[in-house]
Amino acid sequence: MTVFRTEAQTETPGGSFLDPRVLARIDNLELLARTVVDGFINGLHRSPYVGLSVDFAEHRAYMPGDDIRWIDWRLYARTDRHFVKQFEADTNANFVLLLDTSGSMDFGTRGVSKLDYARFLASSLAYFSSKQRDRVGLVTFDHEVIDYVPPAVKHLNVVLNTIARLQPGGASALGPPLVKVTEALKRRGVLVLVSDLYEEPESVLNAVKNLRYRGHDVIVFHLLDRAELDFSFDKAAPFEDLETGERLPVVPDHLREQYRSLVQAHTAELSRRFSDNRIDYVLINTSTPLDHALFRYLSERQRLSRTR
């Protein structure tokens, strides 16, 4: 297995951190995910919901004591032997990625846009979850749901293909698409929201907390480019909103500090409100290696599993 590293990343605690710019050279998302995940960690994972599933896994010979409801009578008719069907739901959970593809996600200053980063992150998480035999699903949205891949064990390829086809665009609004997600996902599971969250903290929380109230475990990855965080522009220029097309003449030297403080206040408010609602919130600078995000995720998951 090949692990791509940079000198800078080797200094990062935690080991094999992967540079997003290197990952961007890998066209195949499955390969990318495997590269990331296999080289990273095989963490424990437990479904948050124990119950029945309709996902068929395999047959095994009937043994006394087995519930006769699970005998496959068609197989019995063909083989004259009793087999019982085994379902994966016994041990796996729903894992649904909620991916923001709005226009603002098409921003990046280091060769990798936020959407690219989200794509890598989502693929890796999907692959990782699939390896954990979770049912993987995907919802992409801007101000409405664009693609919906229902969670299923065998939907990894569908999910990865859908992620590969993603095109940024449209205005973002969390509320309407997440309401639809809430209605569509009846079964509790793990929901991972990947977005840049350019909305007021109040409306973001209103959109996300419904998912939490349905019993889902929600993890929010707040993706921001480094330029969005430190506003490291130097020349005065008109700034154009990627979603609305609106332009504003900006002299960065004279706005930087105010901007930074506004962004910090925004992220702090989001963190506070998510925390209050027991929602995992991870702010990710897209210039940081991808495995750093995965590490943050798994750490959170372990914490959740311990507390559940």
Partner 1 sequence: MGLSFLAPLFLAGLIALGIPVWIHLIQRQRGQVVRFPSLMFLERIPYKSVRRQKIRHWLLLLLRSAALALVIAAFARPLLENDSAGGSGFLGAREVVILLDRSYSMGYGGRWDQARHAVRTTISELDREDRATLVYFDVAAHAAREPSTDHARLLSSLETAAVGAASTRYGPPLKLAQSILESSALPRKEVILVSDFQRVGFEDEVGVLLPEGTEFTPISVAGPGSSNLTVGGVTFRRQAFAGQTRVSVTARIVSRSPDPVEKVDVVLSVSDLVMERRSVDLEANGSATVTFDPVTVPGPFTTGTVSAGEDPLPEDNRFHFVLSPEEAVPVLVLDGGGSSSLYLRQALEIGSEPPFAVTVKRASQFRAADLSGSRVVVLNDASLPGGGAGDRIRDFVSSGGGLLVVAGDRTGWSAESADLLPGTIGSPVTQADRKGGKLGYLDYSHPALEIFSAPRSGDFTGARFYRYRPLEMNGSQGVLARFDDGTIALVEKRIAEGSVMVLSSTLDAVWNDLVLQPVFLPLVHQLIKHMASYRPPRAWATVGQVVALDQWNIGAVPGWEEAHPVVVTPSKQRIPLDVGRQGAFIQASEQGFFQVEEPDAGGRRLAVLAANLDPQESDLTPLDPRVISEAIGVGGNSGEVSPPPEATTPEDRERRQSLWWYLLATAFLLLATETVVANRLSRIAR
Q: Does 105 sit near partner 1 (CB under 8 A)?
A: yes
Beta-carbon contacts of 306 under 8 Å, excluding residues fewer than 6 positions away, are: none
Q: Does 243 sit near partner 1 (CB under 8 A)?
A: yes
**Which of 9, 53, 101, 104 is close enough to bind partner 1 by CB under 8 A?**
104
Site string for partner 1, 207-236 (x = CB under 8 A): ------------------x--x----x-xx
Q: Does 107 sit near partner 1 (CB under 8 A)?
A: yes
The gap from C-alpha 210 to its chain's centroid, in whole angstroms, comes to: 18
Q: Does 251 sit near partner 1 (CB under 8 A)?
A: yes
User: What strands lie across the sheet with 94-100, from one edge to the other?
Assistant: 145-152, 135-141, 94-100, 189-195, 217-224, 280-285
Site string for partner 1, 131-150 (x = CB under 8 A): --------------------
- Please write down the HEC assignment for all residues of 247-259: EEEECHHHHHHHH
Q: Does 111 sit near partner 1 (CB under 8 A)?
A: no
Output 13 or 245, the one with its CB closest to partner 1: 245
The DSSP bridge pattern shows strands 94-100 and 189-195 to be parallel
From CA 231, how far away is CA 181, in angstroms rounded? Answer: 34
**Which of 3, 152, 263, 283 is close enough to bind partner 1 by CB under 8 A?**
263
- As given in the structure block, the two tokens for residue 181 are 């997600």
Residues that bind partner 1 (CB under 8 A): 103-107, 114, 196, 198, 225, 228, 233, 235-244, 246-251, 254-255, 258-259, 262-263, 266
